[in-house]
Amino acid sequence: MACLSDYEVKVLLALNESLKGNKKFSDFLLHNGFPELSAFSAAVHSNTEALDWLLKNGYPEFAILSNAIDGEDNAIQWLEKYNFHLMSLFAAACRKEDQAIKWFVDNNLDVFVFLIRTIHDQLLFQSWDSSDPHRMRRS
């Protein structure tokens, strides 16, 4: 099983851009050996097909990470049970848990801080988008 820490910084920076909605970077990840990161990015954006793809193609940890970021208790427990401590901390930081954010900052894991900030911003946007009665629903 993979962990976010297994990837080179330049790949994680491409993931960050994909999470911001930049299709060029999502396509780069998809066609250059990192389809799991492209699917993870889409799953963070509530794409259930991407979530299913992760589960069916050997990357359940990224599907579960997406759910843990959303605060699903079973997903959080799964990450801990299977010793995905970094990803559990990452999910907690994305949920704005101060101690988790502090851990990434204190350990100079800047690329993860960028990812956390981007995911938090995207989740905030999704929350605003879903509560706007004037918007057409995307799902």
Neighbours of 81 (CB within 10 A): 9
- Amino acid letter, residue 137: R
The answer, yes or no, to whether residue 16 has pLDDT greater than 80, is yes
Whole-angstrom Cα distance, residue 123 to residue 46? 10
The answer, yes or no, to whether residue 103 has pLDDT greater than 90, is yes
The answer, yes or no, to whether residue 9 has pLDDT greater than 50, is yes
70 φ/ψ angles, rounded to the nearest 5 degrees: -80, 0
Whole-angstrom Cα distance, residue 129 to residue 43? 17
Counts for the chain of helices (H) and strands (E), in that order = 9, 0
The answer, yes or no, to whether residue 132 has pLDDT greater than 50, is no
> What pLDDT was estimated at residue 126?
65
Question: Per-residue pLDDT tens for 42-101?
Answer: 999 999 999 999 999 999 999 999 999 999 999 999 999 999 999 999 999 999 999 999
User: What are the tokens at 61?
Assistant: 């940890």
Which pairs with CB-CB distance under 8 Å and at least 24 residues apart come from 56-65?
A: 59/1, 59/2, 60/1, 61/1, 61/2, 61/3, 61/87, 62/2, 62/36, 62/37, 65/4, 65/40, 65/90, 65/91
Neighbours of 22 (CB within 10 A): 14
What does the domain layout of the chain look like in residue ranges?
4-131
More confident residue, 12 or 122: 12
Mean pLDDT of the chain: 91
Check: CB of residue 19 under 8 Å from CB of residue 37. no
> What pLDDT was estimated at residue 124?
80
The answer, yes or no, to whether residue 32 has pLDDT greater than 60, is yes
> What pLDDT was estimated at residue 122?
86
